[in-house]
Each structure stands twice: as structure tokens, then as C-alpha cells.
Chains A and B, each alone.
Chain A
């Protein structure tokens, strides 16, 4: 039986890949995907621990995470559409409106 730490390490790796994606890529869509990846990494660790501790709560949390991820994806993509329509570009480093 693979020890629990393996699962957690795997989820850590996936999570880091997601973070790198967010930080490195210019295209907002890709950044979005990276975020989804991070969420999935977390789900993975939840399920692994649920299995390990034998309680269903972990899985329920994953359920809710999925719901939230869905909502977030919907709204995020809508925003990206709006941005694209106005700015003709969705590169993160060109969207600098928040400068002081």
C-alpha cells in the first residue's frame, strides 16, 4: 500500500507546477488552467487523506471544491471574454490598470 506521503508529495508537485504556470505564462487562459491544476492537486491530497483516515469528510470537501471551481471558471472566463473584447489582448503583463 503506497504510504500516504507519496500521495501528498505528488499533490505537492502538481501544486507547484500549477504555481509555476500561473507565474510564468503570459496568456490568462493558461494561467486559469494552472489554477485549475492547483485546485485538483488539493483535491488529490484531500482524497488521499480521506482514504488514509477512513472518513468521508475529505471527499465531501472535494465535492465543494469542485463546485467552487466550476463557479470560478465560469465567472473567470466571462471576465476574460470582456477583457478580450475591450483590450484586444489577454496577456497578463499588459493589463496594468491596477497601478497606483
Chain B
């Protein structure tokens, strides 16, 4: 690939500025405001300040985007954070093409979701705490994408993990939601452990050739210092972190449960921004991944497998948010597939478009739930087309986009990924095939969702039906904006914009069959969904009965959660119980108390000798005398 010359050029221009720090600072101010003044000033102030702060950082991001030097980067070094021995880490932020795009997405979509939340959380009494967490999340995400070195990226990394823990468990009174939050944090932590190990290995391998750094630009300059096989280990470890954060195969279990949080949270965190952190990290370290094709192929295979696997589960879910959650896992699989085959630009492009339409889908689902007075089971919905027109049309546009219907943003990014998967030297027809089938399934389950919720007649209980209402303006306006973005997103000149980082992008010339088959399969999926769920719903039911075993397996998510619980959680808890009760209490404490008891036992033995009989003592005298004499004689 043409990475060599691109890397050299990117380093030429780095302007040091001092206004980048305001991007994460504004949301932080929002956090402080909400914590200390939120309750006192009441809901109105909170609803203005929190989105306002995000909007301000959006403006600063735009400003940074405008005067981003061609092919260069903006750097804002604040202070020396940690320096001990050979380790020097500054608290510094940087904006280059990749982070410019990311901060725009984060602040832009974030702002829309903040506005949406003011409407969604209208009747929730704990709004200040909610917006405090949401602002804290935006700040950590911005820190993640702006971080100039791996350590700062890690700070943002764990910060977003914390905020997702807090937001998922926002309605803490319900134990099930709180434990979902805990599960998310712990699974993320497992990923972060892998990330840390990768970071250490990278630091010390670079250290061998006396390059003491963690900042991306310097790593890029001295990337030659990292031998290939060590690079593979580093990339795989970092990929473990990415898999934890972006919910890939082994560590994706937390995302479906994370739906326990409020819907705007799922939109912002579990669709648009946080889950894309893994992809951003790999894209950011593309020069490192370029060193080890094996790592890349692992990323690609895991991505493709997740895409396919999650799509299958999504086919049968009945909870509206669960379907979208599995679709997110699947789309993330596509992004990793793109990165795995070396098509970084395609992956990042899909990341952006996905952010738009997936956020829209979640917000649409939120407005449906809002309207159906917190009902999430699509089997109890139906016929909302007439009652909630704006939500329906925006939801419909998003479904078209995600299904990859030509003309909309999804088509451009997903098909590009599939073509790259086929054409790129790292890719393989097998990956392309899996991707295409996945695309078909995605189209099918998205439109199944659409038809079941919005078409046919309403199956909800009577009193729920009569006060289904269209969401207020504060919710529908963001939906509309996101719908426009989902359409227009495909046309942004992103490929050219990212060229300084990932090298000039060339259209992969591939046989027409390969190029158009995914779209055809997508449209087929839509048609199938239409036939099964609109023309005569009976097909779906008897299909489900027919393959009931297979259906049950899918519906229960391949029993992954139960397996994890049995294989990991229960044994650990069992072992710790054993460790505490047996090892600590009996073995170690036993020996300690045992020593005390033996002392006591000896004491009581000697006491018997002290029985008050004078002649007994005289006898001891005698024995003593004999011993001394014996010693002398001997």
C-alpha cells in the first residue's frame, strides 16, 4: 500500500496552538455546573447549559477544522503530566485529519443527542445528574480522540468506560440496570488490561533503541525500531482493548445489556461515539498495524465473524433496542473488517456514516418508546406509521441508509468496505462473501423492525394506544437533522480529506458482479422482509415454529451470557469463596492460631509439675544437681 510516503509527509507541519484545550474544557465546565448548581437552578437552566457547552466545543472544533494545515496537525501542549526516569508524558492535545473528523462527529451528534435528551428526560426528576454524566462522557470522548499520546488516549478510554457505567446504571434503583452497568465496566476493564499490556510492550520495545515516547507522532517516526513479531503481539494486545471497547466477538456481551440505560445514552455512547473508540485507536496506530499482516488478518476475521454472528442474533430479537444493539455490533464488525484489510479510510468513513444513521435509529426507537409509554417489545407495537409520521419517515431513511440502498450514506461506506475486502491484498473473497451475506441480513432485520413497528395494526393495550403521540419538537428536530446527515453523509469528500494520514485513496477496480452483488442482496433482504411481515405475517410465525430449535437458539443469543456466567463468573466467585473460607481462615489463620495453641498446651503441661508438693521441687533440685555433675563427669 502507499503508506510509506504518506507517513513522512504527515509529520511535516505541526502548528502549536492553545485553543484546543477548550474543546474538552467546555463539557467539563458543564459537568461542574450540573453537579454544583444543577439542582438549585432547576431543569430549565440545565437544559440550556449542558447542550450549550457541547455546542461551544462544536464551534471550537469547527474552528480547528477550518485552519487545520494541509496535511499537518495542530498541537496544544498543556503541562508535563508524568515524568519519572525515562518516561515523559505531556498532557497534550492534537488535531489532525482523523481527530478533526472524530471531534466533529462527537460534538455534532453529541449536541443533537443532548437536545434530544432535554425532551426525552422531560419528566425525569434527576436531570442534573443525567446531564452531568453526559457532559462528562463528551469530555472524556473528546480527550480520547484529541489525546496526543497513547496514555492520554487511555485516560479518555477509561473515562468513557466510567461514564457508560454511570449512564447505563442511571436508574440505579433497579438492580438489573445497575448490574448491567457493572458488567459493562468490568468487560471494558478486561479489554483495558489488554490495552495496557500492549502499551507497556510498545514503550519498552521502543525503549530498547532508546526512543522514550508514547506520543503518536514520535512513535510514527521511529516505527522502524519495532521488530515485526513484537509488533504483532503489541497489535493483538491493543486489539483486545479495542474488542473490549467496541464490543467485538469475545467481549461484546456488555453492549446488548447496556440497553438498560436511557435511549439517548445508547444513541450517543453505544452507537455513535464510544464504541467507535476501538476503530479510532487502530486507525490512529495504522503505521503500527501495517507492520504485522497477521494482526491485521486477525482483526479482519474477528470483524467479519462478529458482523455475521451479531446479524444472525439480530434477526429474531423482539426488543427494539436489542435489535439495534446487535446491529451496532454487526456494523462495528464491518468497520474492523475494513481496518483488517488495510482500508483505513473506508473503515473511518463507515464509522462516520454509521454514527449518523445508527444515532438516528436509536433516537427514533427512543421516540417510539417515549410515545408507547416505555414499551420496548416490538410485538406489542405496530401501525405507528400514521400516528408518528416524522419518527416513521426519519426511521425509514435510516433503514434505507443502513441497508446500503444506493444513493444514501450507508451504500457508499459499506460497499466500499466490501469492495476493499475483496480487492485488497490482505482481504479475501471469503471475507467479501461473509460481508455480503451480513449485509443482506442487516437489510432484512432492519426492515423487519420497521415493518413490525410501523406497519399493520397496533397490538398495544387499549389505554397505551390512545395516548400514542408524536414526540415534541425538541426530539423530532434532531431526528430530521440526522436524517439529512444520513443522506448527505455519503457525499462528504472524506476519502480525500483523510489522504494525508492513510495515503491517497484509489477506487478498488473490481468485477461488476462483486461491486453490485451486495446492493442486490440488500434489496432482496428488504423485499423478503416486506413479504414476510407486511403481506402475510403468518409466514414469519410458522417459519419461527418450523425452525423452532434454531429460532430459540438465536433468540437466546446462543446462550453466550449463560456460558460466560458459568465458565467465568461462577468459578471465580466459587474460588474466592474457597480461598477465603479454606485458605485464609483455616490454613494461614490456622497456623497462626495453631502456634498460639501449642504455646498454651506446653504451658498447661508444665503446670502439672508445679503441684505444690515441696518434695517434688526437691526432686527437681536433685535432677538438676545430677545433670550438672553428669556434665562435669562426662
Contacts and interface: CB of A to CB of B under 8 A. Distances in A.
Please say whether the chains A and B touch (CB closer than 8 A). Answer: yes
Interface of A: 19, 22-23, 31, 92-93, 95-100
B612 A97 contact: yes
B619 interface: yes
A100 B615 contact: no
Contacts of A23: 615, 618-619, 622
A93 B615 contact: yes
Contact of B615 (A92, A97, A99): A92
B607 interface: yes
B613 interface: yes
Interface in B573-623: 607, 610-615, 618-619, 622
A31 B613 CA distance: 14
A98 B622 CA distance: 20
B622 A92 contact: no
B613 A100 contact: no
Contacts of B610: 99-100
A95 B613 CA distance: 7
A82 to B, nearest CB: 16
Contacts of A97: 612
Given A19-B622, A23-B622, A96 B612 contact: yes
A17 to B, nearest CB: 13
B612 A98 contact: yes
A96 B613 contact: yes
Contacts of A99: 610-612
A96 B614 CA distance: 8
Contact of B613 (A19, A22, A93): A93
23 contacts: A19-B618, A19-B622, A22-B615, A22-B618, A23-B615, A23-B618, A23-B619, A23-B622, A31-B615, A92-B613, A92-B614, A92-B615, A93-B615, A95-B612, A95-B614, A96-B611, A96-B612, A96-B613, A97-B612, A98-B612, A99-B610, A99-B612, A100-B612
A91 to B, nearest CB: 11
Nearest to B622: A19
A100 B607 CA distance: 8
A39 to B, nearest CB: 15
A97 B612 CA distance: 6
Given A92-B615, A99-B610, 17 more contacts: A19-B622, A22-B615, A22-B618, A23-B615, A23-B619, A23-B622, A31-B615, A92-B613, A93-B613, A93-B615, A96-B612, A96-B613, A97-B612, A98-B612, A98-B614, A99-B612, A100-B610
Contacts of A19: 618, 622
Closest 4 CB pairs of A and B: A99-B612, A96-B612, A98-B612, A92-B614
B629 to A, nearest CB: 10
Interface string B218-256: 000000000000000000000000000000000000000
B302 to A, nearest CB: 77
Contacts of A96: 611-613
B633 to A, nearest CB: 13
Nearest to A16: B622
Most buried by B among A31, A93, A95: A93
Contacts of B619: 23
A19 B618 CA distance: 9
B529 to A, nearest CB: 94
A79 to B, nearest CB: 12
Nearest to A26: B615
Contacts of A93: 613, 615
Contacts of B611: 96, 99
A98 B615 CA distance: 12
A8 to B, nearest CB: 13
A75 B610 CA distance: 26
A90 to B, nearest CB: 12
A44 to B, nearest CB: 18
Nearest to A28: B614
B107 to A, nearest CB: 84
B298 to A, nearest CB: 77
A37 to B, nearest CB: 14
Contacts of A92: 613-615
Nearest to A93: B613
Contacts of B618: 19, 22-23
A26 B618 CA distance: 13
Nearest to A24: B615
Contacts of B622: 19, 23
A22 B622 CA distance: 11
A99 B611 CA distance: 5
A60 B610 CA distance: 39
Contacts of A100: 607, 610, 612
Contacts of B612: 95-100
A23 B616 CA distance: 8
A45 to B, nearest CB: 15
A100 B603 CA distance: 13
Contacts of B607: 100
A23 B613 CA distance: 11
Nearest to B610: A100
A100 B618 CA distance: 17
Contacts of B614: 92, 95, 98
A83 to B, nearest CB: 12
Contacts of B613: 92-93, 96
A46 to B, nearest CB: 18
B13 to A, nearest CB: 92
A31 B619 CA distance: 13
A36 B610 CA distance: 26
A95 B611 CA distance: 11
A84 to B, nearest CB: 16
A93 B618 CA distance: 12
Contacts of A22: 615, 618
Nearest to B619: A23
A97 B618 CA distance: 16
A96 to B, nearest CB: 4
A67 B615 CA distance: 25
A100 B604 CA distance: 12
A24 to B, nearest CB: 8
Contacts of A95: 612, 614
A27 to B, nearest CB: 12
A96 B128 CA distance: 83
A48 to B, nearest CB: 19
Nearest to A97: B612
B100 to A, nearest CB: 88
